[in-house]
Amino acid sequence: MSTVDKALQVLDLFSESRPNLRVSEMARLLGWDKSTVQRYVAGLTSRGILEQDARDKSYYLGATLTRLSMLRERTHPVAQQIYSLLSELVEDIGETAHASQYISGELRNSAIVETSIRGTRVYIDPAEALPFHASGSGIAFLSRSSPELVKAILSRKLGRYTSDTEVRKKSLLQQITAARRNGYAKNEGTFESDVIGLAAPVVGFDGYAVGAVAVAMPSARFTNSNEKRIASVLMKSAEKLSRLHGGT
């Protein structure tokens, strides 16, 4: 594993629920020895990518990331366009919407817009990777992925998140085929209990998926009668997002 890959693994440890981490905690989470983690943390801190809290000696994400994020948005203003499309989706459907992107073998959330219309809404952790086999976004992504990538992903060890999580490869292939045919995927309590998600693939210039766009809602608010309307709106949003990536 390259030095850059290891440094990125350190950064991936941080999340909303883990904004501050000590070196010992990082070593435990990564399964590395403490001296190795300290070496990477020192390098990241020297470049301002991490900063240290003087009170408890823990580390948190630094200002360099803010600068790079601002530069990215000024030179390639995709994030604002994605956020705007998700806001329109939330206004139309009334449920939380999120977009994800395939990065380094994982499906990661790139933008989340929570609904303000509903008192009860689904919370989506921005730092949590979306499981390919257990989320609507994952199935939608695989429905427009190459056969080689689908085979590689389904060959991994597939974990269970709820009692309804499907891990049988034959059944998952049937879900992927149905999503390809319908243009969207639906998951019912397979990633989080009592949550239903609908997702459509976002494709790039080569016709293969680069991510997905999805809505998530409590299962109590979902009915079969509104599925088609939600799916129709969702697929139009996916088409607009695909254009941003050079695809249709």
* 74 or 213, which is more confident: 213
90 band by pLDDT with thresholds 50, 70 and 90: very high
163-208 pLDDT, tens digit each: 999 999 999 999 999 999 999 999 999 999 999 999 999 999 899 9
Query: What is the pLDDT, as a whole number, of residue 128?
Result: 86
Could you tell me which residues come within 8 angstroms of residue 167 by beta carbon, excluding any fewer than 6 positions away?
Answer: 133, 158, 159, 160
**Assigned architecture for domain 3-67:** Orthogonal Bundle (1.10)
Spatial separation of the C-alpha atoms in residues 24 and 56, rounded to whole Å:
13
Contact at 8 Å (CB) between 13 and 26? yes
* 129 or 247, which is more confident: 129
Determine what percent of the chain is predicted with pLDDT higher than 90.
Answer: 74
**Where in the chain are the domains?**
3-67, 77-244
Q: Is the pLDDT of residue 246 over 90?
A: no
Q: Do domains 3-67 and 77-244 have the same CATH topology?
A: no
Over residues 227-245, mean pLDDT: 92
In CATH terms, the fold of domain 77-244 is Beta-Lactamase (3.30.450)
123 band by pLDDT with thresholds 50, 70 and 90: confident
Spatial separation of the C-alpha atoms in residues 138 and 129, rounded to whole Å:
10
245 band by pLDDT with thresholds 50, 70 and 90: confident
